[in-house]
Chains A and B, each alone.
Chain A
């Protein structure tokens, strides 16, 4: 292998994209990806969606076909952790005892599921959903008639709730806030999805925080701070993620709830880049610093990193976006809404398809589309353009969303 190796830590969406783009763009040096997991690099979204379906095969989609890495001369080292970075020597220390020099280092270590710390959290049957191994374990517990208690009504918790209900489980979701997906959407959308879940037999307890879990070797009962008790065979903890930044922190790279990177994915060390869930950067559309947990961000930061390593122009930043599918209903979001945003409804929730527009100073800042995709791309473009909307036109689903842009005053 040639010297000048780019060493990538993490074979998730960001790491694999960075490796692939380096080759596409003509990088001739070595490309080495190290990952602590032993599965071939795979897509994460299906883990809480298709993989849990009753008739699903025990396999989720791969990020690239199996022979890809060899074909592209990308060295993939699975089941190996990177333990330490020596920035002086430009070397990483691996769990197999070896050391690996790098020309450039890319940290794509993602995030880990936030752990529950209450008494009983360590009992068998209490689990998170982050890896393929987690998904397969979870799936084996979703047996018809079993009691599933889900902590957290975010995307993961709700996708699992839907899958568990479809498999005939008794599902209860405990949520500390007063509505589902509170952090990411408005109350219109929250309530719509809550009703949808309830119509599939799922029960919610809002304002409800788990205090401890009991059971004889295995979780059997979940207690909440207000004294309620829920019987459980499976407890799924979906309370958010934390950036996997220990490696970077220990190496003295600047971190603050995420590894800090610039618009090229560069960290505070000019030889070290980072991409994906693990990073925090300034959002070009809002000017604020944020950490984004979505595929779009992982892929576009990986592209920026690959371009910068090769000295090429970075791509235009893309509006962040996300999707979730629950009981077959699709919610697709572009941009990032804030609680203070003006909420404008487009279409009628009673029809099972509508959009919600989030306006900030009259401009479109974010959009949720529910049950349909017609407004998704136009919404994304309007957000990127930062133009003001005509509220009457924007609220009229009979007119194309793109038409609601106010002409920019000269």
Chain B
């Protein structure tokens, strides 16, 4: 089943997207025309897929990898409780209705 997610882009505009089960969250954003550069193809190397999620969702997703954290912490608008690299967020039915905010470009 596809998840339906709500995305706020960098201009504050809202988009409603389908997130397919075999996609990472980054892939769903990128393949739906959101300006996510994803230069590293989803390998936690570039931080261009930085997003904010609700704090309780971040908690439910569990630990971030060391690479992810090291990259995120150095972004300008890092927020400990809501920052994630969207390429590291895997599809899960429980994330239906997810709210996603694109972080400003570095």
Contacts and interface: CB of A to CB of B under 8 A. Distances in A.
Contacts of B93: none
Interface stretch (B36-44, B56-64, B96-104): B36-44
Interface in B1-43: 20, 22-23, 27, 30-31, 33, 35, 37, 39-43
B27 A65 contact: yes
Contacts of B45: 323, 330, 332, 373
B35 A43 contact: no
Contact count band on A: 20 to 34
A282 interface: no
A299 interface: yes
A4 interface: no
Interface stretch (A134-142, A211-219, A342-350, A374-382): A374-382
Contact count band on B: 20 to 34
26 contacts: A23-B33, A24-B35, A43-B41, A46-B41, A61-B41, A61-B42, A64-B30, A64-B31, A65-B20, A65-B23, A296-B39, A299-B39, A323-B40, A330-B45, A332-B45, A373-B45, A373-B70, A373-B71, A374-B70, A374-B73, A376-B70, A377-B47, A377-B75, A378-B74, A381-B106, A402-B74
Interface in A34-71: 43, 45-46, 61, 64-65, 68
Q: 4 nearest interchain CB pairs?
A: A373-B70, A377-B74, A43-B41, A374-B70
Contacts, number: 56
A80 B86 CA distance: 35
A68 B23 CA distance: 12
Contacts of A373: 45, 67, 70-71, 74
A168 interface: no
A154 interface: no
A46 B42 CA distance: 11
Contacts of B37: 299
Nearest to A379: B74
Nearest to B68: A373
Interface in B45-103: 45-47, 66-67, 70-71, 73-75
Nearest to B67: A373
Nearest to B44: A373
Nearest to A67: B31
A355 B29 CA distance: 32
A72 B41 CA distance: 20
Contacts of B39: 295-296, 299, 321
A372 interface: yes
Contacts of B43: 45, 323
Contacts of B75: 377
Given A24-B33, A374-B73, A330 B41 contact: no
B87 to A, nearest CB: 10
Interface in A63-108: 64-65, 68, 72
A46 B45 CA distance: 13
A64 B26 CA distance: 11
B6 to A, nearest CB: 19
Contacts of B30: 64
Nearest to B33: A24
Contacts of A299: 37, 39
Contacts of B106: 377, 381
Given A68-B31, A332-B45, A374 B40 contact: no
A194 to B, nearest CB: 23
Contacts of A374: 70, 73-74
Contact of B41 (A68, A295, A402): A295
A201 to B, nearest CB: 26
Contacts of B41: 43, 45-46, 61, 295
A296 B40 CA distance: 8
**Quick one: which of A64, A374, A402 has the most chain B CB within 10 A?**
A374
A372 B40 CA distance: 16
A98 to B, nearest CB: 29
B32 to A, nearest CB: 9
A300 B42 CA distance: 17
A372 B70 CA distance: 7
Given A295-B41, A372-B70, 12 more contacts: A24-B35, A43-B41, A46-B41, A65-B20, A295-B39, A330-B45, A373-B67, A374-B73, A376-B74, A377-B47, A377-B71, A381-B106
A376 B68 CA distance: 12
A13 B57 CA distance: 32
A24 B39 CA distance: 17
Contacts of A65: 20, 22-23, 27, 31
A381 to B, nearest CB: 8
A407 B22 CA distance: 48
Nearest to A43: B41
